[in-house]
Structure 1
Amino acid sequence: MFSGPDQVGTTDGGFADELSRLKRRGASVLVVGSVHPDQWRDACRRLLGCGTDRTRRRVLVSTTAGPHHAIHHVDETGSEALSVIAYDAQARNATTAEPGETPSIRPATTEAESLADLGIAIEQAIENFETNTAALESGEVRLGIDSLLPLLEEYGRQRVFKLLHLVNGRTKAVDGMAHYHLPVERDARIVQTLSPLFDIIVELREHDGDYQERWTIEDGDRRSGWLSVGPE
């Protein structure tokens, strides 16, 4: 279900056991760190379950413009089970390819012009997966939001906190995984404010030319240490 520790290994048996438990019940993940866009893209693809043979049903939410549009985070496999939601200004560009790139998929895009619209669109996307699937497996539904910063800047911490609480609950109800990128350092005040909402916090950094991740589970007592993860 997860990238990082369960793929590259860890000597902490309790850590691995807890990851397995989260795999079964569903999880919420906050990804932090101001890193090169390629590193965030690779982490996002792994959290979305790209590059595996298992079926994934993905909800991608774009809140930012630039080279990492939501549509570029997925591969062709399972692309029919994809819902793209574009928040506000992103709606006009959600299916526009970056220069020199031709996305293999061009799904219909739902436009969300407010925080309430965004919550409704996510709820509807997950409901559609439930309706059109006989039985969703653990980890089959994957939700990713490319940045929380635009939402925090426009609506403030309290309203975004409430939205994340609702979205996390809805995703876990289908044993799915939701992850969100917040491009700030781990010790930023906003991370401390939001961290109670998340089962896992993944820190990203570049160290001596290597991409690295560190995973912390819930209360902070279980941590993977820094793990080298090469670009895909």
Structure 2
Amino acid sequence: MEDDGGAVVSDRATFARTLDALKREGSNVLLVGAAAGTHERVCQRLLGGTNRDTRYRLFVTTEGDRLACENADSDAAERIRTIDSRAVLETETESATESGVSSLGALGIQILETINEFDEDADGLEPSALRVCVGSLVPLLQEYDAETVFRLLHVLTARVDRSRGMGHYHVPLAPDHDAVALFEPLFDAVVTVRSRGGTDEQRWHLRETNTTTDWLEL
């Protein structure tokens, strides 16, 4: 993302303090850029380790995802859930007309119910204990119009905020894509990733303070 007139932050300490605030208060992050391998590396960092007794992780996968949930700590398995969006959408499409709930709406309900179960199990989630990873939104954009996907994201980001969790959502498209522009207002930060000269890099744009980091090596 090109600088849109906001300040550029090159001080890593200042940036780190801002990220700490996002963890305490809850946040949603949009990951953009076409470098798939780099998406995975940022994803792992945002998910955090599995060695905390209070951390809950929810993976929402889409067709072709390579989310690394298979190596999760077995001791934390009961606090890790995976929702296969493709399977949900295929199952719900047939009954959508009868129930009055769209297949995409049914996916949203299942995600919300899972977060509610986490909240109940934890007797109230601690700040940043909830980590939600939503895989590539491109398959959804190929089947539904962008405004419909926007409504789903609006519901999910609001729920993550309510639990003061950390959600991140993958859109492996160019930062200037129309869908990225539509989704941006829902998020606290937009992270652009790239691979340049064999080096994976990320650049954060923090919407509340209108600041953008330099390119940071992963």
TM over 0.5: yes
Q: Deviations over 1:22-56 (max 9, x none)?
A: 22110111001111x43222211111113654642
Tell whether the 8 Å contact from 1:204 to 1:211 is kept in structure 2 after alignment: yes
For the aligned residue pairs, the C-alpha RMSD in angstroms reads: 2.6
State the SS of the aligned residue for 1:79. helix
Q: Deviations over 1:55-113 (max 9, x none)?
A: 420110011135x1563374445222011111124899xxxxxxxxxxxxxxxxxx765
State the SS of the aligned residue for 2:78. coil
What percentage of residue pairs aligned between the two structures are identical?
34
State the SS of the aligned residue for 1:60. strand
Does 2:33 align with 1:33? yes
Deviates more, 1:10-19 or 1:161-170: 10-19
Normalised to the residue count of structure 2, the TM-score between the two structures is: 0.82
Normalised to the residue count of structure 1, the TM-score between the two structures is: 0.77
Does 2:78 align with 1:80? yes
Does 2:125 align with 1:171? no
List gaps (5 residues or longer) in structure 1. 1-8, 93-110
1:116-135, aligned counterparts within 5 Å?
Answer: 116-135=105-124
Letter in 2 for 1:115: L
Q: Partner residue of 2:195?
A: 206
Q: Taking structure 1 as reference, are residues 134 and 169 closer, same or farther at Cα in structure 2, changes over 3 Å only?
A: same
Q: Taking structure 1 as reference, are residues 211 and 65 closer, same or farther at Cα in structure 2, changes over 3 Å only?
A: same
Q: Taking structure 1 as reference, are residues 38 and 54 closer, same or farther at Cα in structure 2, changes over 3 Å only?
A: farther
State the SS of the aligned residue for 1:139. coil
Q: Partner residue of 1:218?
A: 207
Q: Taking structure 1 as reference, are residues 227 and 141 closer, same or farther at Cα in structure 2, changes over 3 Å only?
A: same
Distance 1:225 1:184 in 2: 20
Q: Taking structure 1 as reference, are residues 73 and 167 closer, same or farther at Cα in structure 2, changes over 3 Å only?
A: farther
Distance 1:141 1:117 in 2: 21
List gaps (5 residues or longer) in structure 2. 1-8, 94-102
1:9-48, aligned counterparts within 5 Å?
Answer: 11=11, 15-35=15-35, 37-48=36-47
Q: Partner residue of 2:183?
A: 194
Q: Taking structure 1 as reference, are residues 91 and 41 closer, same or farther at Cα in structure 2, changes over 3 Å only?
A: farther
1 or 2, which has the higher helix percentage?
2
- RCO (CA 8 Å, sep 6+): is it higher in 1 or 2? 2
Tell whether the 8 Å contact from 1:60 to 1:70 is kept in structure 2 after alignment: no
Deviates more, 1:21-30 or 1:48-57: 48-57
Tell whether the 8 Å contact from 2:51 to 2:73 is kept in structure 1 after alignment: no
Q: Partner residue of 1:5?
A: none
Q: Deviations over 1:153-189 (max 9, x none)?
A: 2111111111101100111111001111001111222
Q: Deviations over 1:117-165 (max 9, x none)?
A: 1101111111101111133111000111111111112111111111101
| TM superposition shift of 1:221 | 2.6
Distance 1:212 1:54 in 2: 31
Q: Taking structure 1 as reference, are residues 74 and 215 closer, same or farther at Cα in structure 2, changes over 3 Å only?
A: farther
Q: Taking structure 1 as reference, are residues 82 and 138 closer, same or farther at Cα in structure 2, changes over 3 Å only?
A: same
Distance 1:160 1:220 in 2: 26
